[in-house]
Structure 1
Amino acid sequence: MKSPNKLLFTSLMITSTLMVASSSNWLTTWIGLEINMLGYIPLMFMAQNTMESEAAVKYLIPQSLGSTIFIASAIISSHFNNLQILMAIAMCLKLGVAPFHFWFQPVMASLQLTPAFILLTWQKIAPILAISSFNKTLIAMIMPIAMISALWGGIGGLNQTDIRSLLTYSSISHTGWMLASTTSNHIILIAYLTTYILINASIFASLNSESTKSCKQFFSSKEPTKFFILAITILSLGGLPPLVGFIMKLLVLMSTEAKTVIILGLITGAMISLFYYLSLTFSALLSFSKMHLTKTHLTSKQTILFFLSQTLPLTLIMFFF
């Protein structure tokens, strides 16, 4: 696909997300979600192979189903308020959270790195913002979905050896935390989203520079400084204290209005996720302890993304509070 087309569809994605963020009625939100979906599907075709075509179909069907349920329930709920829960379920289907994650992992496995990164990060913004605009009663009704998502994301990643599958289940777990943050201050939700996007950007920059699939290959870098930054970024995504990923989860726990059972489920899911991130980096960190930090060449992109992911969310919180 040529660059002008990529620029057009990327602009559609960005504009539609801003439309959802600024919409004041359900019709505008639905239109923004539809444009967002139609803007992303052409970007999925990077290598022009049959796997991407299959991934596009697997992405299109649940997204269209979610949009149909959303607009239908929005119309019917003007007469029957009890059906508003279907609007929240439709957004959860679009996000790919458990137990509506049946399409998420197959689509991620068939995509190239750039569209996979967009699916993990940018495509979550519009549905999350739509959910955050619901009333508190409706948000409280979907908190069990947040707990199930955090738990399933942790359990599903335990036996994964492919780094992309690991990031997929990690995304399911983090989406549960994003759902929990919708009951708190909007600044915390935005800061959590910013943290998640920047940490993933740093990881995908490393994946893009080196062709890696397995977790062992992921930490096979011979440059100690580059390896150390990568390990810290992974542990920050897992929520190891005192890294910024842990601080953002702590802020969510301090400000959320979810019930105690939901909070315990979120913490349990985070602990399971942290376990497989620690097991992923433990042997690599042991070998790193035998190395000596040398003056190595590190690309400016990786350095900037690392420092942004660890400092920008904290700066956001300090600025608003």
Structure 2
Amino acid sequence: MFLLSNSNKMFFLFILFFSTLISISSSSWLGCWIGLEINLLSFIPLIITPNNLLNSEASLKYFLTQSIASINFLFSILLSLFLMKNFFFNNFFSIIINSSLLMKMGSIPFHFWFPNIMEGLSWFNCFILMTWQKITPMILLSYYFNLNFLYFIMIFNVLIGAIGSFNQTSLRKLMAFSSINNLGWMISSIIISENLWMIYFIFYSIFTFIVCFLFYIINIFFINQLFFFNMNFLIKISMMINFLSLGGLPPFLGFFPKWIIINYLLNNNFFIISFVFIMSSLILLFVYIRIIYSSLLFFSFKLKWFKIFIKNNFLIFIYFFNFISLLGMIISTFFF
């Protein structure tokens, strides 16, 4: 990857990782805010590549949205320190702090920046934005959340993430809406317990990484490119397995963390939330199957003289993980 051969980008990547650790391990809200700011300022140099207008536009949009969220966060922390003794204000500030953190991670109703910025990024930066950049706001959200407010956010996240995926021709935007959908699941998991959130987040990150990596090595950005590419059949199969895992289809490994969340919600009588979660997963699976169907079954477009041979040692790891994912249901039954 270009990133690994560029020492400046590596430097900012390390700062990005350490800024998250600063926020998570901080004992004060101010320390958390400082970590968030370092995180923002280290991600922007990773986005920018010279002579690319889309990247520059994405970096500017990212900077503006994140700095607005940071200002709100700092403002609400300072005000809550003065007015914390009043119960009404306490409730009000918890919503403001939650809102600023939700804006940081690109959640509903502050999600409009997220697909637009994803459209201007490389696959590696898309992966960072969908996974690593969500860790800090998520952990900070778990410190101080307004439960009733988050119930609504969870429901709308999964719904808009699923409905927004319709009619998307861009794979990056589709992955962005998929990320918004998974954010609803993640918020519900972090309300339940941090360990469950860790399990969900690790699974989600692995599947997202494999999908982004496959798109990166084939160099694909739009759905219609999948029709024309006469690529390795194993790559198509691994794309299928990981997409179905992201959607949470039962035989695959991606269903396992969702199963635990649904189990908990049903045990605690959250029937409406679990119904919405399951229905949104079905909608998202329909969108994923549409992509897989088009890439697997459209032979009429195949250019016979144009065959892609990809030799990448990392693919062996991906195929191995796909095999584990196929055995996912057998593995997950051991846990119950």
TM-score range, shorter chain: 0.7 to 0.9
Match of 2:275 in 1: 264
- Decide whether the 8 Å contact of 2:33 with 2:74 is kept in 1: yes
Cα distance change, pair 297–36 in 1 and its aligned pair in 2 (3 A): closer
Cα distance change, pair 283–113 in 1 and its aligned pair in 2 (3 A): closer
Matched, 1:253 2:253: no
Match of 1:293 in 2: none
For residues 289-317 of structure 1, the C-alpha deviation after alignment (integer angstroms, 9 at most, x for no partner) is xxxxxxx97633123145447759x8x99
Query: 1:60-75 to 2 correspondence within 5 Å?
Result: 60-75=63-78
- Decide whether the 8 Å contact of 2:104 with 2:137 is kept in 1: yes
* Distance across 1 between alignment mates of 2:30 and 2:195: 25
Cα distance change, pair 221–125 in 1 and its aligned pair in 2 (3 A): farther
Cα distance change, pair 305–38 in 1 and its aligned pair in 2 (3 A): farther
* Distance across 2 between alignment mates of 1:140 and 1:306: 42
Match of 1:291 in 2: none
Query: Which residue of 55, 59, 76 corresponds with 2:58?
Result: 55
Match of 2:306 in 1: none
One-letter identity of the residue aligned with 1:29 = C
Q: CA deviation at 1:157?
A: 0.6
SS at match of 1:169: helix
Cα distance change, pair 243–234 in 1 and its aligned pair in 2 (3 A): same
Q: CA deviation at 1:47?
A: 4.5
Match of 1:113 in 2: 123
Identity of aligned residues (%): 34
Query: Which residue of 100, 119, 123 corresponds with 2:133?
Result: 123
Larger Rg: 2
- Decide whether the 8 Å contact of 2:94 with 2:144 is kept in 1: no
* Distance across 1 between alignment mates of 2:215 and 2:276: 31
Query: 1:7-46 to 2 correspondence within 5 Å?
Result: 7-46=10-49
Match of 2:201 in 1: 193
Cα distance change, pair 298–287 in 1 and its aligned pair in 2 (3 A): farther
For residues 260-299 of structure 1, the C-alpha deviation after alignment (integer angstroms, 9 at most, x for no partner) is 33222222221111111122223444569xxxxxxx9763
One-letter identity of the residue aligned with 1:32 = G
Match of 1:278 in 2: 289
Q: Which has the higher contact order (CA 8 A, sep 6+)?
A: 1
Q: CA deviation at 1:103?
A: 0.8
* Distance across 1 between alignment mates of 2:68 and 2:40: 12
Note the residue ranges of structure 1 that are not aligned, 5 or more in a row: 289-295
Query: Which residue of 242, 245, 248 corresponds with 2:251?
Result: 242
Cα distance change, pair 143–121 in 1 and its aligned pair in 2 (3 A): same
* Distance across 2 between alignment mates of 1:269 and 1:159: 16
* Distance across 2 between alignment mates of 1:33 and 1:310: 38
RMSD: 2.7
Note the residue ranges of structure 2 that are not aligned, 5 or more in a row: 84-88, 300-308
For residues 188-228 of structure 1, the C-alpha deviation after alignment (integer angstroms, 9 at most, x for no partner) is 10111111111111111111111212224336343222221
For residues 36-57 of structure 1, the C-alpha deviation after alignment (integer angstroms, 9 at most, x for no partner) is 1111011001344222221111
Q: CA deviation at 1:176?
A: 1.2
Matched, 1:300 2:313: yes
What is the aligned residue count?
311
TM-score (structure 2 length as normaliser)? 0.84
Query: Which residue of 189, 210, 224 corresponds with 2:233?
Result: 224
Cα distance change, pair 318–90 in 1 and its aligned pair in 2 (3 A): farther
- Decide whether the 8 Å contact of 2:115 with 2:172 is kept in 1: no
Matched, 1:85 2:88: no
Matched, 1:205 2:213: yes
- Decide whether the 8 Å contact of 2:253 with 2:332 is kept in 1: no
